[in-house]
Amino acid sequence: MSKVEVVSERCKGCGLCVLACPKKNLSLGDEYNAQGYAYVKFSSDGKCTGCSFCAELCPDMALRVYKQEKK
Amino acid sequence: MSAQPKLKKVFDRPQCLKDVPYHYCPGCHHGVIHRLLAEQIDNFGLRGKTLGAASVGCSVLIYDYFDVDIVEAPHGRAAAVATGLKRARPDSFVFTYQGDGDLAAIGTAEIVHAANRGENITVVFVNNAVFGMTGGQMAPTTLEGQVTTTSPYGRSAAEAGLPIRVTEMLSTLEGTAYAARVAVDNIKNLKKAKAALKRAVTYQQKGWGFSFVEFLSSCPTNWKMTPEEANARVGKEMADYFPLGVYKDVRAN
Ligand SMILES: Cc1ncc(C[n+]2csc(CCOP(=O)(O)OP(=O)(O)O)c2C)c(N)n1
Ligand code: SF4
Ligand code: SF4
Ligand code: SF4
Ligand SMILES: [Mg+2]
């Protein structure tokens, strides 16, 4: 399954990626990074498609997307 | 351990952006706009021959982020500085990156005349309807009724006039070859924004003349909104008054 890696130290907890994900795979967590922001968490329960909408709309480039290659 | 599925990295930061954190507020669109410009510099292979003219505003520190040569222009003068850069180094890719306070207030003369002369430069104009850096004062692009620190009862058209639609205004000039207004509030608009920037860079690379891309942008901090609310305002109130689209594309087939 495709997946998203959160660079937690770069995330500012703005939530724009949460809005962007059509599969609701992202949510704001309750753990804080060194900058003092509650960073976003990725859960693949919603079946990530690797569409990258979240990462494209993240102002801080805090997301990296890995897409599952077709067999 | 079970066999891992083959995963391909499909999204990462552009090469010509340094791997450092931005100083921007959470949810500020400046970050996305930087990245879209950087992607085009990478796509066109221009990293080693790009000269930027930075402006005064929240994006004043873009030389800390772009791994290209950047000249810091005095407030409002980026289009004049870029004119000099391009004329002295015609083989370079020359861009300006300017806010609305910078370009549409103190820098009105410079942008109008650079466009009118048809300078072969690319202007990235970030319209967030306020002077962000200095604490959210009213800009020429502030919406009617919008509350700012210098329009505490909302912008009054009787006192301050209505907001300037810069893209439309510059499109009337013969020297402007390409002009578009875009936004990055959702994926659909972001894709159009990418296409507009690509077209603007193409214009300069082919020597087709002055190219201009206005981004409607958010300023959650000075709008006193959450990032989500500010993002929604871009797509609604702002795009209602400042319609998105390509206004001029003289080389379109
Ligand atoms: C000559 C001069 N006058 C005024 C200022 C104060 N000043 C700094 S930034 C700014 C406006 C910035 O607004 P904008 O260009 O919209 O950028 P934003 O921060 O909103 O991205 C002003 C008036 C200055 N630095 N220099
Ligand atoms: S890549 Fe697409 S599906 Fe996966 S988390 Fe991001 S927006 Fe959601
Ligand atoms: S858009 Fe980026 S900075 Fe904002 S919450 Fe998501 S990962 Fe964090
Ligand atoms: S003040 Fe506004 S424009 Fe400046 S970084 Fe913050 S949100 Fe962005
Ligand atoms: Mg501004």
* ipTM field: 0.96
> Which pLDDT score is estimated for B2?
54
Residue whose Cα lies nearest atom 7 of ligand 4: it is B219
The residue written with tokens 């893209």 in the block is B167
Instruction: Summarize the confidence of residues B168-193 as an average pLDDT.
Output: 98
> Which pLDDT score is estimated for A44?
84
In which band, very low, low, confident or very high, does the pLDDT at B3 lie, cut at 50, 70 and 90?
low
> Which pLDDT score is estimated for A1?
87
List all residues 6 or more positions away from B124 whose beta carbon is below 8 Å from its beta carbon: B33, B37, B95, B96, B97, B98, B197, B213, B215
Instruction: Summarize the confidence of residues B53-57 as an average pLDDT.
Output: 98
B35 touches chain A (CB under 8 A): yes
Q: Judge if the beta carbon of residue B131 lies within 6 A of ligand 1.
A: yes
The string of pLDDT tens digits covering residues B187-222 is 999 999 999 999 999 999 999 999 999 999 999 999
Please report residues of B whose CB lies closer than 8 A to that of A55: 11
CB-based pocket (< 6 A), ligand 2: A 4, 20-21, 23, 25-26, 48-54, 65
B11 touches chain A (CB under 8 A): yes
Q: Judge if the beta carbon of residue B139 lies within 6 A of ligand 1.
A: yes
Q: Best interface-test mutation with A: which of B9, B11, B33, B126 has the largest number of A CBs within 10 A?
A: B11
Please report residues of A whose CB lies closer than 8 A to that of B12: 64
CA distance B31 to chain A (A): 4
Instruction: Summarize the confidence of residues B155-184 as an average pLDDT.
Output: 98
Contact B189, B183 (CB under 8 A): yes
Annotated domain spans of chain B: 30-249
In which band, very low, low, confident or very high, does the pLDDT at B5 lie, cut at 50, 70 and 90?
low
In which band, very low, low, confident or very high, does the pLDDT at B103 lie, cut at 50, 70 and 90?
very high
Q: Tell if the CB–CB gap between B7 and A57 is shorter than 8 Å.
A: no
Give B186 Cα–ligand 1 centroid separation in angstroms: 27
HEC-encoded secondary structure of chain B:
CCCCCCEEEEECCCCCECCCCCCCCCCCCHHHHHHHHHHHHHHCCCHHHEEEEECCCHHHHHHHCECCEEEECCCCCHHHHHHHHHHHCCCCEEEEEEEHHHHHHHCHHHHHHHHHHCCCCEEEEEECCEECCCCCEECCCCCCCCCECCECCCCCHHHHCCCCCHHHHHHCCCCEEEEEEEECCCHHHHHHHHHHHHHHHHHHHCCCCEEEEEEECCCHHHHCCCHHHHHHHHHHHHHHHCCCEEEEECCCC
With 60 as the cut, is the pLDDT of residue B1 above it?
Answer: no
> Which pLDDT score is estimated for B214?
99
The string of pLDDT tens digits covering residues B109-151 is 999 999 999 999 999 999 999 999 999 999 999 999 999 999 9
Residues of chain A falling short of pLDDT 50? none
Q: Which CATH number fits domain B30-249: 3.30.930.10, 3.40.50.970, 1.10.3720.10, 3.60.70.12?
A: 3.40.50.970
If you average pLDDT over every residue of chain B, what do you get?
97
Q: Assign A45 to helix, strand or coil.
A: helix
> Which pLDDT score is estimated for B51?
98
Q: Give the fold, CATH level 3, of A3-61.
A: Alpha-Beta Plaits (3.30.70)
The residue written with tokens 């499109």 in the block is B171
